[in-house]
Amino acid sequence: MEEKELLKLSPKELIDLGVCPTCLNRKYHGAIYGDDTDKRLYRDEDIEILFVGNPRAAGHLAILSVPHYRDMAEAPDELNAKIVRYAKYLMNLLPEVYGCERVYLCTMCDGPANHYHVQLIPRYAGEERGSKNFVKPRGEFVSDPVRTERLRAALKAFARDGSSE
């Protein structure tokens, strides 16, 4: 199949064929997942941080490896360490910015060609604690420019100084 033909397939179909939708999307500037300018929070040569397009809670984020690895088990330790450092930072920041009580971390990259990422899912007051938070119903992403700018500025400072000051 020609590469451009692949752009008509769903992410699941691509993964089943052994084609990474994340890498294809990047190569063709959003051809799979659409314009994600409003979801982008941070990017450098190693990682990118985005709002999830079909979130399970307000403030649901993903941290992705920029190079393709199938999961944490395949990625270099330095990259995994960096992802954990940013995850920790965001687990402290999201309750401040979104008012959630806790932030859950999960990573589950499966199939022949998934792209290594971890997810941060907020749990809010009144939501039951525990693993049900990983499978809360998905909703539409709603842009929140004020909170988005706060996260962008904080991540920029963290990347520069290793702190939010």
Closest separation in Å from C-beta 128 to Zn ion: 34
Contact between 20 and Zn ion (CB under 5 A)? yes
Closest separation in Å from C-beta 155 to Zn ion: 22
Closest separation in Å from C-beta 157 to Zn ion: 29
**Which of 56, 60, 115, 123 contacts Zn ion by CB under 5 A?**
115
**Which of 6, 7, 17, 23 contacts Zn ion by CB under 5 A?**
23
Residue type, 163: S
Contact pattern from residue 62 through residue 81 relative to Zn ion, giving x for each residue in contact according to CB under 5 A and a dash for the rest? ------x-------------
Number of helices (H), then strands (E), belonging to the chain: the values are 5, 5
Closest separation in Å from C-beta 33 to Zn ion: 12
- Concatenating the DSSP letter of every residue in the chain gives --HHHHTTS-HHHHHHTT--HHHHHHHTTSTTT---GGGEEEE-SSEEEEE-SS-SSTT-EEEEESS--SSTTTS-HHHHHHHHHHHHHHHHHHHHHH--SEEEEE----STT---EEEEEEE-TTSPPSGGGGGPPP------HHHHHHHHHHHHHHHHHSS--
Stretch binding Zn ion (CB under 5 A), from 7-15, 80-88, 115-123, 138-146: 115-123
Nearer to Zn ion, 15 or 57 (CB): 15
Closest separation in Å from C-beta 22 to Zn ion: 4
**Which of 11, 14, 15, 22 contacts Zn ion by CB under 5 A?**
22
d(CA 21, CA 114): 8
User: Which residues of this chain interact with Zn ion, rule CB under 5 A?
Assistant: 20, 22-23, 68, 115
